[in-house]
Amino acid sequence: MSVVPSTETNKKFEAENAENLEAIEQQFAVEAVENLETHWELLASIPGSELRLTSQDDEIFSTFIACFPEFTKEKLLKFDDMDLKAEKDKARWRDWSKNFETVIYDYNFGCILRKNSSEPYLENNTVFSFRLQFYAIEIARNKLGLNDWVYEKFNA
């Protein structure tokens, strides 16, 4: 059984009209968890302030801070779900993301992001985001030293 619509009957695949297939959703969840585990292992191995997540970290950081000035150091330390999901901000995130859609692999793939950077990945401390949001926030946290505590904890 094929889970991808036939290109003969559907000339253009429209994600917003696709049915939810449990097997695909489970695979997305597995990859998102693998990403968070990899991120946590990196933070435990290298101080965040020395870590580069992409070759475009500097550009992601500078454009993120310019487009989303409300993400101050305090907001990067701890934010609320609505800081990412407010209807009024969705278009801003979409517009900003377009700058990286051909540069960042799977820039809109689902990721799991910590809401409070001073705590580990826990169910009550995570929010589902897309990859470029994850990069923007975690790169900013790294540059501001907000993730250095993880390395210090594991290497004390």
pLDDT in tens, 67-126: 999 999 999 999 998 988 888 888 999 999 999 999 998 888 889 999 999 999 999 999
pLDDT for 93: 93
Its pTM stands at 0.82
pLDDT for 156: 85
Residue 20: band (very low, low, confident or very high) from pLDDT cuts 50, 70, 90: low
Domain ranges of the chain: 23-46+54-154
Question: What tokens appear for 113 in the block?
Answer: 């992001």
Determine the CATH number of domain 23-46+54-154: 1.10.3560.10
pLDDT in tens, 50-78: 999 999 999 999 999 999 999 999 999 99
Give the 3-state secondary structure of the chain: CCCCCCCCCCCCCCHHHCCCCHHHHHHHHHHHHHHHHHHHHHHHHCCHHHCCCCCCHHHHHHHHHHHCCCCCHHHHHECCCHHHHCHHHHHHHHHHHHHHCCCCCCCCCEEEEECECCCCCCHHHEEEEEHHHHHHHHHHHHHCCCCHHHHHHHCC
